[in-house]
Structure 1
Amino acid sequence: MSFINLKDKVVQVKIVYYGPGRCGKTTNLEYINRKFRDQIQSEMVSLKTHGDRTLFFDFLPFNMGQIKGYDIKIQLYTVPGQVKYNATRKLVLKGVDGIVFVADAMEKQREKNIRSLNQLHENLQSYKESIFKIPLVMQYNKVDLKEHGIPVLPISVLQQDLNSRLQVPYFEASAITGYNVAATLKKIISSTVVSIQKKLL
């Protein structure tokens, strides 16, 4: 649920990048941090484990301009992907307005993607949120690896596994090169802001 400050006319929008471990969530935020530097108010905050993997979250705030006289401030978060950190993932999802599900397109990650999406569904339910109602965008990351001879799942398989029931927008992407990272971000922001606009009417 977005935080709306009626006195200062500010809307804080929380978008979470969710997915299995090492799928590219932090890489997405690092690219956004570089690409949209002029809109970002502070340095990206990262809390990591000893192995340089996200332990709690990465946090990146930036300005989106105004809608209906309200300043829109976007807050981007990632969650740790490793199975043992589900309590933390659940905590970061509290009050979420929109979600980017980052799936790892490598063949060997197929089951991890499915498990992670199922867990997202369960975690949202614990907050009385529905995966079918919340703004959601799929990002199929690491599609560029097929150029390096690494087996990658066809988009049709990823769609069948992850998006056959949800039917949400999706992007093939490469967070490391930046391919479709901005497009994914713009889509989730527009979907989320549309849903929040209804609250401001």
Structure 2
Amino acid sequence: MPDQDAGSLSFKLVYYGPAQSGKTTNLLRLHDLLSPELKGEVMTMETKDDRTLFFDLLPLGFRAPSGLLIKLRLFTVPGQVAHDGTRKAVLSRADGIVFVADSDRTQETNNGEAFQSMADNCHRVGLDFEHIPLVVQFNKRDLPGAVPEAEIRERWEAAPWPLHFAVALTGDGVEATFESLLRALYRRHDAELGLARDHGVSEQAFVAGILGRP
């Protein structure tokens, strides 16, 4: 459930996936691409191993016609197996998730294990995995060893989650992935939070406000 207090509403979104799949790169490109009313800097917490990110944080937000301040906090989780405790801590109280998979064929096992880890950790921290807004992104489409898109689509056709393809380094597919999550987030919470009814924020206005579109 989003955090709500007088005059503001805050959603927590988490980018989850195996090590080096491009979670941090997604956040960096979003910071470059988006122009909402409110945008903070990307903040990184690191462990002793400077290649292992504890988490990254990108705050975004805009003000609704009612005056309500709508804020999003975007986090990544470390992909390395040794940091499962940190992943659970970052995932706790999440309102939406982007699963970032590595398109390289050699990473298929790591992708599968990371997805199962995400599902398991959702249950462990009390999240409703079957209903939480979730989008799947296959990143690194520019790699010579990338699994063909048609093969991935066939494999995921029975899955209920939106599927996107990206090259996060160039920004290709990054905003589209995030927009899918925003739409799923809005549909999940509109009625209970009265976004349209009480605050004059339609789905399109919610998406436009966060992305910084006119």
The answer to whether the Cα contact below 8 Å between 2:93 and 2:127 also exists between their aligned partners in 1 is no
Unmatched runs of 5 consecutive residues or more in structure 1: none
Find out whether 1:120 has 2:143 as its counterpart: no
The answer to whether the Cα contact below 8 Å between 2:36 and 2:62 also exists between their aligned partners in 1 is no
Name the CA shift for 1:51/1:64 in 2 (closer, same or farther; >3 Å).
same
Q: Give the letter aligned to residue 43 of structure 1.
A: E
CA displacement, residues 35-55 of structure 1 (integer Å, 9 cap, x when unaligned): 225544322111124554343
1:122 and 1:68 mapped to 2: Cα distance? 39
Q: CA RMSD in A?
A: 1.9
**Structure 2 matches for 1:26-105, cutoff 5 A?**
26-37=24-35, 39-49=37-47, 51-66=49-64, 70-105=68-103
Give the aligned partner of residue 145 of structure 2: 151
Find out whether 1:192 has 2:181 as its counterpart: no
Q: Between 38-47 and 27-36, report the one with greater CA deviation.
A: 38-47
1:112 and 1:200 mapped to 2: Cα distance? 37
The answer to whether the Cα contact below 8 Å between 1:47 and 1:55 also exists between their aligned partners in 2 is yes
- How far the C-alpha of 1:95 sits from its partner, in A, is 0.6
- TM (norm. structure 2) is 0.83
CA displacement, residues 39-73 of structure 1 (integer Å, 9 cap, x when unaligned): 44322111124554343110000114427653211
Give the aligned partner of residue 2 of structure 1: 2
- How far the C-alpha of 1:156 sits from its partner, in A, is 4.0
Q: Give the letter aligned to residue 166 of structure 2.
A: A
Q: Give the letter aligned to residue 84 of structure 2.
A: N
- How far the C-alpha of 1:158 sits from its partner, in A, is 3.2
Find out whether 1:166 has 2:197 as its counterpart: no
Unmatched runs of 5 consecutive residues or more in structure 2: 195-214
Number of matched residues? 194
The answer to whether the Cα contact below 8 Å between 1:46 and 1:54 also exists between their aligned partners in 2 is no
2:131 and 2:158 mapped to 1: Cα distance? 12
Q: Give the letter aligned to residue 181 of structure 1.
A: V
- TM (norm. structure 1) is 0.88
Q: Give the letter aligned to residue 152 of structure 1.
A: A
